């Protein structure tokens, strides 16, 4: 149910694009979080993936978490996640909340890649 609400907010944004210009990924994720009463947990670049370039998470407390990915073609896809990815989401959220100097020192790309791989194995964001 969480993912459906986020998808609706993202769809609404696409209708509001002026002259075909898309807003930056981080702005779209933040807007979707605000419209669905969630909070952005992380927004990271996914390096080395053939199909996905960005990934973000919106948290809804006890209700769950939605993951949004931006594909290389600019399309956004969304899915609700289950408990077996919670540790990876928490690790990326902690990295995102850390000071920039610490973010520069710590590499998040491995965690992001593992999370994306787990999501794909569970049927989300399959390769196109």
Identify the helix (H) or strand (E) that includes residue 40.
strand 39-45
Q: What was the pLDDT predicted at 128?
A: 43
Cα distance between residue 34 and residue 115, in whole Å: 24
Contact 111, 46 (CB under 8 A): no
pLDDT in tens, the chain (128 residues): 566 666 766 656 654 555 556 678 898 888 888 888 889 999 999 988 899 999 999 998 888 898 999 988 888 888 888 778 889 999 999 999 999 999 889 888 999 999 999 988 888 776 54
Q: What was the pLDDT predicted at 14?
A: 55
Residue 44's nearest CA partner among 6, 101, 83, 89 is: 89
From residue 77, how far is each of 6, 9, 58 by CA, in Å?
10, 12, 13
Q: What was the pLDDT predicted at 112?
A: 93
pTM, two decimals, is 0.84
Q: What was the pLDDT predicted at 15?
A: 44
Q: What was the pLDDT predicted at 11?
A: 57
Query: How is residue 114 written in tokens?
Result: 């593992």
Cα distance between residue 58 and residue 105, in whole Å: 24
């Amino acid at each position: 149910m969480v993912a459906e609400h986020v998808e609706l907010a993202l769809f609404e944004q696409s209708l509001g694009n002026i002259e075909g210009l898309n807003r930056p990924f981080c702005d779209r994720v933040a807007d979707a979080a605000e419209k669905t009463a969630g909070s952005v947990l992380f927004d990271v670049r996914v390096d080395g993936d053939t199909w996905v370039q960005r990934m973000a998470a919106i948290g809804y407390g006890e209700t769950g978490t939605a993951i949004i990915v931006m594909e290389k073609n600019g399309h956004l896809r969304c899915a609700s996640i289950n408990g077996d990815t919670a540790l990876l989401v928490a690790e990326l959220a902690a990295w995102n909340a850390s000071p920039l100097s610490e973010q520069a020192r710590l590499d998040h790309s491995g965690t992001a890649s593992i999370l994306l791989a787990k999501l794909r194995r569970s049927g989300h964001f399959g390769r196109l």
